[in-house]
């Protein structure tokens, strides 16, 4: 008689069972996603190039809305990296590689780094894995003036949402991290080759001036929106932060990922990614099922909700206050530092 298993399997949480039906992609709905993202992006950019010799303003009238469809195409790429856009793993991989070229991202490298983010979001001890670098109050205080100035500049909106999109979309994806495996490195190399050939083909077809004056604005606008979305998804006042010993995957999803409630037109162009709490609890749910999963499951009905204006105001938050469990503005950071110095003086005088 076989000996009983000494380590019984852990029971699946009820939320995992409840969300399972939403993680089945439908081919018809996926094809509709493609028809309302990649296809209009390509058509609008072709129209922009055709109008370029007639009027630059007319060309921009096509290129600017194209940036919205490029952002939506990025959401499809993102779904492919989670294996949620198609039922077929192979289809996810190949369409992910294709859309990765459009959004200048190496599929395998981005997929690996992004999964690390999902496994560590909200964990104070594992920050830096695919998230926005954020210091605690004690870490900020411990830095010299150069370190504090560097962090201040990095978190400044002009840097984060001005230089940030260009760096994160065009520069950073051209390289791999120090822990990258062979598949990641190969992915970056071949994506760089593909991006170079794609850009060369466009330049040979329309000229470098048209390419820079039309494609660059589309990339930057889409990138700026993408960086802002990624920021507000995990950077709001009462966001969840815990040390590894106390960290919970489910709590990080429900309390550390926002429900960014956008106007319907913006929700369309952002591919429902504002329902980030649903996505983090079950990343296999395709973007078009996120809203239904939220509406039909009570576990999501008390999550942090941000309006568009709340999301804009969240860019003021800079430093984690571990004791109070929230993010602070620079004004609050300065007040906390003054209070700490005053407390230190009182303690020194008492001694």
Specify the pLDDT at position 342. 80
Distance CA 331, CA 328 (A): 8
Specify the pLDDT at position 179. 83
Encode pLDDT of 307-333 as tens digits.
999 999 999 999 999 888 789 999 999
Q: How confident is the model at residue 5 (pLDDT cuts 50, 70, 90)?
A: low
Quote the DSSP letter at residue 242. B
Classify residue 240 as exposed, middle or buried by CB count within 10 Å of its CB (0-12, 13-18, 19+).
buried
Specify the pLDDT at position 345. 77
Other Cβ atoms less than 10 A from the Cβ of 118: the count is 17
Q: Assess contact for 27 and 87: CB atoms under 8 A.
A: yes
For the four alpha carbons of 231, 127, 318 and 324, in that order, the dihedral sign comes to: positive
How far from the centroid of its chain's Cα atoms is residue 84's Cα? Answer: 16
Q: Assess contact for 108 and 184: CB atoms under 8 A.
A: yes
Encode pLDDT of 164-176 as tens digits.
889 988 999 999 8
Bridge partners, residue 136, by sequence:
320
Q: Quick one: which H or E segment has residue 58?
A: helix 56-81
Distance CA 108, CA 303 (A): 31
Average pLDDT over residues 185-205: 96
Torsion of CA 95, 96, 99, 104, to 10 degrees: -150
| Gyration radius from the chain CA atoms | 22
Higher pLDDT: 76 or 346? It is 76
Encode pLDDT of 39-72 as tens digits.
999 999 999 999 999 999 999 999 999 999 999 9
Q: How confident is the model at residue 128 (pLDDT cuts 50, 70, 90)?
A: confident
Encode pLDDT of 104-120 as tens digits.
999 999 999 999 999 99
Encode pLDDT of 16-27 as tens digits.
999 999 999 999
Encode pLDDT of 137-153 as tens digits.
999 999 999 999 999 99
Bridge partners, residue 317, by sequence:
329
Q: How confident is the model at residue 214 (pLDDT cuts 50, 70, 90)?
A: very high
Residues of the chain above pLDDT 70, percent: 97
Q: Assess contact for 37 and 76: CB atoms under 8 A.
A: yes
Average pLDDT over residues 224-252: 92
């Amino acid at each position: 008689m076989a000996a009983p298993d000494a380590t019984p399997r852990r029971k699946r949480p009820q939320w995992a069972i409840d969300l399972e039906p939403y993680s089945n992609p439908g081919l018809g709905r996926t094809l509709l996603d493609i028809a309302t993202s990649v296809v209009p992006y390509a058509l609008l950019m072709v129209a922009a190039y055709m109008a370029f010799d007639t009027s630059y303003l007319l060309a921009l009238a096509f290129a600017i809305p194209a940036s919205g469809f490029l952002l939506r195409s990025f959401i499809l790429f993102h779904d492919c990296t989670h294996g949620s856009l198609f039922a077929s793993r192979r289809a996810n991989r190949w369409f992910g590689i294709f859309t990765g070229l459009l959004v200048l991202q190496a599929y395998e490298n981005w997929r690996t780094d992004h999964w690390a983010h999902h496994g560590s979001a909200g964990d104070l001890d594992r920050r830096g894995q695919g998230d926005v670098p954020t210091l605690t109050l004690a870490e900020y205080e411990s830095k010299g003036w150069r370190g504090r100035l560097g962090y201040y500049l990095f978190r400044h909106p002009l840097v984060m949402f001005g230089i940030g999109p260009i760096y994160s979309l065009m520069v950073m994806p051209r390289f791999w991290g120090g822990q990258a495996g062979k598949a990641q490195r190969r992915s970056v190399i071949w994506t760089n080759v593909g991006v170079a050939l794609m850009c060369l083909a466009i330049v040979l077809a329309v000229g470098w001036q048209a390419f820079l004056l039309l494609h660059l604005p589309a990339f930057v606008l889409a990138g700026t929106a993408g960086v802002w979305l990624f920021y507000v998804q995990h950077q709001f006042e009462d966001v969840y932060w815990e040390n590894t010993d106390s960290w919970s995957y489910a709590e990080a999803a429900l309390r550390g990922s926002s429900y960014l409630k956008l106007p319907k037109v913006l929700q369309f162009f952002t591919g429902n990614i504002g329902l980030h709490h649903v996505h983090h609890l079950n990343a296999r749910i395709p973007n078009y099922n996120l809203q239904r999963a939220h509406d039909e499951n009570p576990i999501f009905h008390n999550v942090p909700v941000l309006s568009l204006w709340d999301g804009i105001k969240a860019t003021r938050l800079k430093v984690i206050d571990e004791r109070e469990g929230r993010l602070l503005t620079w004004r609050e950071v300065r007040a906390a530092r003054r209070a700490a110095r005053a407390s230190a003086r009182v303690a020194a005088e008492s001694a």
